[in-house]
Chain A
Amino acid sequence: MRIVDPALQELRNKLLRMGSLAEDILEKSLVAVWKRDRAAAREVQIDDLEIDRLDLAIDEAVLRLLATQAPVADDLRGVIAAKMIATDLERVGDLARNIAKCALRLADHPEVSIPARLRTLGDEVQRVLHRALDSFADGDAERAAQVLEQDDQVDADQDLVIRAAIQDIMSHPELTSQGVDFILIAKNLERIADHATNVAEDVILATQARNVKHAAKLRE
């Protein structure tokens, strides 16, 4: 066992914990929306703090590792990737909190129904995040590549939800506030999916030493 191994393992454990917290917080925020559950929405705030605390701990651990161990090759890529994944997961927490805020507002109007497409989008994003975190846990670059492919689909679905919501607002102006909330929820979900994509890209960098970020944009 090398001296650096326990530190690497500790870092990985923190990230795994952060990942499961991110999945939980997303689940909770969506449940808060579907079930108008105010309590769940408030829990989300607390969970986000936990995620933030983990992010700080990971910052500290990464700095210490780099300074004391001077890792190279796959160790180095792993550590750098860990920092980037932690940042993305912390953003996921923040976005989930935004969704929870929308949920609190929507809970005041239980009579307005949640569009089915929004629910589908929510499930889809949850699956994307789950797959990305799985690919990290297993170090599976192929599964990470699949996540990247799904991102376009999520974008398209989000577009549809937003368009439908805009239509609803135009036809029912008294439901503007809710409509806007639906749009916000959709946007936050899409950004969560983006962050999940980032996580997948980081996994590919760590395992295969290929940097596939911004590939689509750079291609154009």
Chain B
Amino acid sequence: MLPAGGSERRFLTKISARDVNVFYGDKQALFDVNLDILHNQVTALIGPSGCGKSTFIRCVNRMNDVIPSCRVEGKIALDGEDIYGPEIDVVHLRARIGMVFQKPNPFPKSVYENVAYGPRIHGLAESRKQLDEIVMSSLERAGLLAEVKDRLGDPGTSLSGGQQQRLCIARAIAVSPEVILMDEPCSALDPIATARIEELIGELRSNYTIVIVTHSMQQAARVSQRTAFFHLGCVVEVGETAQIFTDPKEVRTRDYITGRFG
């Protein structure tokens, strides 16, 4: 199934997936997935539970490598380069493609250390002053600085749920990624924290390419410019968000988003 053509010709393709098939042992989880993620856009992946959206997103930053029974076939390219190629360093790839998880998982370290860890291990700062700058600007861009600036030494786990998630976002931003993957980032948060994060996603769009997996149709409709609907391991339809939610082309898409199944 090819992606719907777009009037987004002015946006380049950041990540492209071609004929991606993923297996967990003998069980196939993704079938011939073809999808383009456009640069500096928020792309939402929606679909019922177990449809493969989380599997897909974890292939993009090769988190599925840690699962021994997982096999990925096909090509996933970042800026045209196959991320499963032999010369690709997985560790460096994960610095270019950051991830925010469903349940906020800050390191059991201080707020400052949480954000400083990534830049430190990737050698992004040459002096303590530079590191401070990176930490401060990451916290600022994650919209957290004002709330934690006199608590930088406190453990990351002492923050509220929404703050922890923003800390995880700051941590992901600190290594200057090009893409941020979000796997249901708001599902463990209350509505106000959720709204705050959605606002943040809107602000981050201008600097990063964002892919968000979400169970909430309203959230996908609110934050994304493009939406892909996954069902039973296939991409059923992909297109401009407004169009998918006012006039979807596929019956399955329409049935899912109007709640007739799933």
Q: Judge A-B direct contact (beta carbons within 8 Å).
A: yes
CB interface residues, B 25-68, toward A, < 8 Å: none
Tell me if B201 is interfacial: C-beta within 8 Å of chain A. no
**B246 close to A77 (CB less than 8 A):** yes
Tell me if B90 is interfacial: C-beta within 8 Å of chain A. no
With contact pairs A77-B246, A209-B246, A209-B247 given, residues A72 and B260 touching in the complex (Cβ less than 8 Å): no
Tell me if B254 is interfacial: C-beta within 8 Å of chain A. yes
Tell me if B217 is interfacial: C-beta within 8 Å of chain A. yes
A168 to B234, CA, bound (A): 72
Tell me if B5 is interfacial: C-beta within 8 Å of chain A. no
Tell me if B257 is interfacial: C-beta within 8 Å of chain A. yes
Q: How far is the CB of A212 from chain B (nearest CB, A)?
A: 14
Please give me the residue from chain B that is nearest to A2 by CB atom: B259
* Selected contact of B245 from candidates A2, A3, A72, CB within 8 Å: A72
Contacts of B260 in A (CB 8 A): 2
Contacts of B246 in A (CB 8 A): 72-73, 76-77, 209
* Selected contact of B247 from candidates A2, A4, A71, A73, CB within 8 Å: A73
A1-17 interface mask toward B, CB cutoff 8 Å, 1 = contact, 0 = none? 01110000000000000
**A4 close to B248 (CB less than 8 A):** no
**B258 close to A71 (CB less than 8 A):** yes
A72 to B242, CA, bound (A): 10
Please give me the residue from chain A that is nearest to B245 by CB atom: A72
Tell me if B221 is interfacial: C-beta within 8 Å of chain A. yes
Q: How far is the CB of A203 from chain B (nearest CB, A)?
A: 15
Q: How many residues of B contact A (CB 8 A)?
A: 12
Tell me if A152 is interfacial: C-beta within 8 Å of chain B. no
Tell me if A151 is interfacial: C-beta within 8 Å of chain B. no
Tell me if A75 is interfacial: C-beta within 8 Å of chain B. yes
With contact pairs A209-B246, A209-B247 given, residues A73 and B218 touching in the complex (Cβ less than 8 Å): no
**A73 close to B259 (CB less than 8 A):** no
Tell me if A156 is interfacial: C-beta within 8 Å of chain B. no
A3 to B260, CA, bound (A): 10
With contact pairs A73-B245, A76-B246, A77-B246 given, residues A2 and B218 touching in the complex (Cβ less than 8 Å): no
Tell me if A74 is interfacial: C-beta within 8 Å of chain B. yes
Q: How far is the CB of A210 from chain B (nearest CB, A)?
A: 9
Q: How far is the CB of A43 from chain B (nearest CB, A)?
A: 42
Contacts of B254 in A (CB 8 A): 73-74
**B247 close to A70 (CB less than 8 A):** no
**A74 close to B218 (CB less than 8 A):** no
A72 to B260, CA, bound (A): 12
A35 to B161, CA, bound (A): 75
The 5 closest A-B pairs by CB, nearest first: A209-B247, A72-B245, A2-B259, A72-B257, A73-B254
Binding site for B on A (CB under 8 A): 2-4, 70-77, 209
- Given A2-B260, A4-B258, A72-B246, 8 more A-B residue pairs with CB atoms under 8 Å apart are A70-B218, A71-B258, A72-B221, A72-B245, A74-B254, A75-B258, A76-B246, A77-B247
